[in-house]
Structure 1
Amino acid sequence: MGIDVVRTRDAAKLEPLDIVVDVGGVYSPEKHRYDHHQRGFSEVFGYGGFDKIKLSSAGLVYKHFGKEIIAKRLGEGVSVDDERVEVLWLQLYSEMIESVDGIDNGVNISSAPLAYTQRTDLSSRVKRLNPNWNEPTSDAIYDEKFFQASKITGEEFLSQLDYFAFAWLPARDVVKVALEKRHEVDASGQIVVFNQSCPWKDHLFTLESTFPASTPQILYILYPESDAPGSKWRIQCVPQSSDSFVNRKSLPEPWCGMRDEKLSEVSGIKGGTFVHASGFTGGNETFEGTLEMARKALKA
């Protein structure tokens, strides 16, 4: 569908337009005006607990149109009221749009000094499209750069949406079934087995939050390295949160950095393949060997 795009701050030129984004000094969904620069603007996403970051124009557009876009992407006949749409709408805001809002509004990602610099985010990629200070500029050049940025942003948005819709979301049922069967794996209920690798972290934390408060935390995940017959198996520690590098309980320190025969000797478990130096993951030739690793790690 072709649309005409006008890039201007001229109020007279903005007035007849169907939708105005990021300029104009007005936030009015009824009039399709979505600016966030005006004094007194304080709109937040307001759903799913996302109420700390003031919205940028990206967040405003997503808040009002995101569900329609997601429903259309899921396929013909999918309604904005579909439960999947709500889940994806919140997930994509968390994983992509909130950071754009925070960066655009000058919100630091942390109150403490960062351990390292991260400049591969979408906002940084778009910013680098601007002409360099020592290059010539013109309205035509800025228009060209704008459309390049629009293309990159659109591709990134749809790429993330497709991942969450067609890979991440279907994994929820896999995780749910595995959690229900965890006591069949080990009486502790702290070891979960997946028969195939899948995106499990977000779903595990969401589903685990519905358990009674007295339920022991899940500590280890087991899964095959591939779908091929006779595949080796992996063990992975559950982190403290889905974006944390700190484990609830790491694999035993004497195993860390060990491989093959040396690992089997140190652990007392045949078929060892490796344990990462940080102790967050490891492997064995067989499921039985990996399960023994998990059980020994529980007692360590």
Structure 2
Amino acid sequence: MIAFAFGRLRPVLGSRVPIHRYQFHHRIQPLSRTMSSESEQASKKQKMTKVIGTHNGTFHCDEALAVFLLRLTNTYRESDLKRTRDPAILQTCDIVVDVGAVYDESKQLFDHHQRSFTEVFGHGFTTKLSSAGLVYKHFGKEVISNVTQLPTDDEKVETLWLKMYKEFIEAIDAIDNGIAQYPADVKPLYRSRTDLSSRVGHLNPTWNESVDAQAVDVLFGKASALTGEEFLGRLKYYANAWLPARNLLIASIANSLNVDPSGKIIVFEQFLPWKEHLFELEEQQQTPEDSKAIYVVYPDEMAGAWRIQAVPVSPESFQSRKALPEAWRGLRDDELSSVSKIEGGIFVHASGFIGGNKTKEGAMAMAVAALTI
């Protein structure tokens, strides 16, 4: 289990949490000197405090998340925030996101609205970035390293960095840039307004509300905390559940070669979500079609038995690479054992995508027999 360093969300606007909560003085200073010293320290601290700049007015999911992510980095962890479109004020900020019409990493300027902007995440992704994607591209590995407490160069950080972009950040980039999820000629059967970008949008004041700038800043703080909470929740899942399953699958594939040298049968000693990982690994390793897995065998812990499942042609497909034999389909118990000539049969689904046996040996025998039928 990967430890998470940030258990609570801090407000985006308002007071900052000091690095050292308690300070001890070895001797009492005269009041005037103490007040002067405290004033000098406060002034010095103010000068050292980093400032993030973004636009004021209506806010969106991308800059709300960008600000949150920056506050998970070492440089901007204790930063203040200025929401303005005044170029003179923005020039005083240490980093500017989603405003200013300039993308220049060396100057810490991360806007994507200028006509010349064409930046994408890379690594096979082609969606144009928003300010969220820009910040994540440049600071994401550090954020993941800080949250998971893994070294930045750990390969798990790279894996999680890419996974979080694919499953979380890319959609925010696309929505903010007006990139449709489906071709224009496809009419959706229903509308959904519960995605993260929509929920952030709903936090803005309505057109007929009279709200001052300070109140909107408070709402932006809520929006940034909302995006951050979802980001950390998703990262926690991928770090503590998704990634361990991937590692178990890799180990299971290696161990299964001792049982089936062809690699067409994978045996798990415990159930785990395997489909997505298997297809990703096959793509990364460019596994030839005739060497891809056909069946997986794993314990059915609820029933105390074992299952054999056909690998689908794609993670979302109901069609199998090789379904269990047609003669077995729809049969149960003794009838199944009689027809398959394998003891301990429990069932085979009518479509042939899954079956069960009372023992591991029986399930493996079903898998071996099904390969040759």
TM-score, length-scaled by structure 2: 0.66
Answer yes or no: is 1:34 the counterpart of 2:110: yes
Question: What residue number does 1:172 align with?
Answer: 246
How far has the Cα of 1:194 moved from its partner?
0.8
Pair 244,17 (structure 1): closer, same or farther in 2 beyond 3 Å: farther
Q: In the alignment, is the contact (CA less than 8 A) between 1:255 and 1:266 conserved in 2?
A: no
How far has the Cα of 1:287 moved from its partner?
2.6
Structure 1 CA distance for aligned equivalents of residues 164 and 211 of structure 2: 35
1:195 pairs with 269, 272, 282, which one? 269
> Which secondary structure state, in structure 2, belongs to the residue aligned with residue 222 of structure 1?
strand
Greater RCO (Cα-Cα under 8 Å, separation 6 or more): 2
Structure 2 CA distance for aligned equivalents of residues 53 and 84 of structure 1: 24
How far has the Cα of 1:68 moved from its partner?
0.6
CA RMSD for the aligned pairs?
3.4
Question: What residue number does 1:18 align with?
Answer: 94
Structure 1 CA distance for aligned equivalents of residues 208 and 299 of structure 2: 53
1:30-61 deviations in whole A, cap 9, x for unaligned? 22111111111111112x222x1111111000
Question: What residue number does 1:5 align with?
Answer: 81
Pair 108,248 (structure 1): closer, same or farther in 2 beyond 3 Å: farther
Pair 134,172 (structure 1): closer, same or farther in 2 beyond 3 Å: same
How far has the Cα of 1:113 moved from its partner?
2.5
Q: In the alignment, is the contact (CA less than 8 A) between 1:235 and 1:283 conserved in 2?
A: yes
Answer yes or no: is 1:213 the counterpart of 2:271: no
1:237 pairs with 279, 303, 310, which one? 310
Answer yes or no: is 1:104 the counterpart of 2:176: yes
Q: In the alignment, is the contact (CA less than 8 A) between 2:337 and 2:345 conserved in 1?
A: no
Pair 31,177 (structure 1): closer, same or farther in 2 beyond 3 Å: same
Letter in 2 for 1:49: G
1:181-231 deviations in whole A, cap 9, x for unaligned? 3344446532211111223334323433426636422122222233x8x72
Q: In the alignment, is the contact (CA less than 8 A) between 1:219 and 1:249 conserved in 2?
A: yes
Structure 2 CA distance for aligned equivalents of residues 30 and 81 of structure 1: 22
Structure 2 CA distance for aligned equivalents of residues 177 and 3 of structure 1: 43
Question: What residue number does 1:92 align with?
Answer: 164
Structure 2 CA distance for aligned equivalents of residues 291 and 127 of structure 1: 53
Provide structure 1 residue ranges, at least 5 long, that are not aligned to the other structure.
none
Pair 123,264 (structure 1): closer, same or farther in 2 beyond 3 Å: farther
Structure 2 CA distance for aligned equivalents of residues 21 and 154 of structure 1: 16
Letter in 2 for 1:105: N
Structure 1 CA distance for aligned equivalents of residues 250 and 197 of structure 2: 35
How far has the Cα of 1:279 moved from its partner?
5.4
> Which secondary structure state, in structure 1, belongs to the residue aligned with residue 141 of structure 2?
helix
Q: In the alignment, is the contact (CA less than 8 A) between 2:306 and 2:357 conserved in 1?
A: yes
How far has the Cα of 1:98 moved from its partner?
1.4
Structure 1 CA distance for aligned equivalents of residues 320 and 199 of structure 2: 32
Structure 1 CA distance for aligned equivalents of residues 335 and 96 of structure 2: 62
Structure showing greater Rg: 2
> Which secondary structure state, in structure 1, belongs to the residue aligned with residue 94 of structure 2?
coil
Structure 2 CA distance for aligned equivalents of residues 177 and 63 of structure 1: 30
Q: In the alignment, is the contact (CA less than 8 A) between 1:59 and 1:98 conserved in 2?
A: yes
Question: What residue number does 1:153 align with?
Answer: 227
Letter in 2 for 1:96: F
> Which secondary structure state, in structure 1, belongs to the residue aligned with residue 296 of structure 2?
strand
Pair 27,136 (structure 1): closer, same or farther in 2 beyond 3 Å: same
Question: What residue number does 2:186 align with?
Answer: 113
TM-score, length-scaled by structure 1: 0.80
Answer yes or no: is 1:61 the counterpart of 2:126: no
1:156-185 deviations in whole A, cap 9, x for unaligned? 111222222233223333212221233444
Pair 119,38 (structure 1): closer, same or farther in 2 beyond 3 Å: same
Structure 2 CA distance for aligned equivalents of residues 131 and 255 of structure 1: 61
- Identical aligned residues as a percent: 50
> Which secondary structure state, in structure 2, belongs to the residue aligned with residue 199 of structure 1?
coil
How far has the Cα of 1:110 moved from its partner?
2.8
Q: In the alignment, is the contact (CA less than 8 A) between 1:197 and 1:223 conserved in 2?
A: yes
Question: What residue number does 2:51 align with?
Answer: none
Q: In the alignment, is the contact (CA less than 8 A) between 2:257 and 2:263 conserved in 1?
A: yes
Deviates most, 125-134 or 84-93: 125-134
> Which secondary structure state, in structure 2, belongs to the residue aligned with residue 233 of structure 1?
strand
Structure 2 CA distance for aligned equivalents of residues 190 and 133 of structure 1: 60
Structure 2 CA distance for aligned equivalents of residues 266 and 22 of structure 1: 68
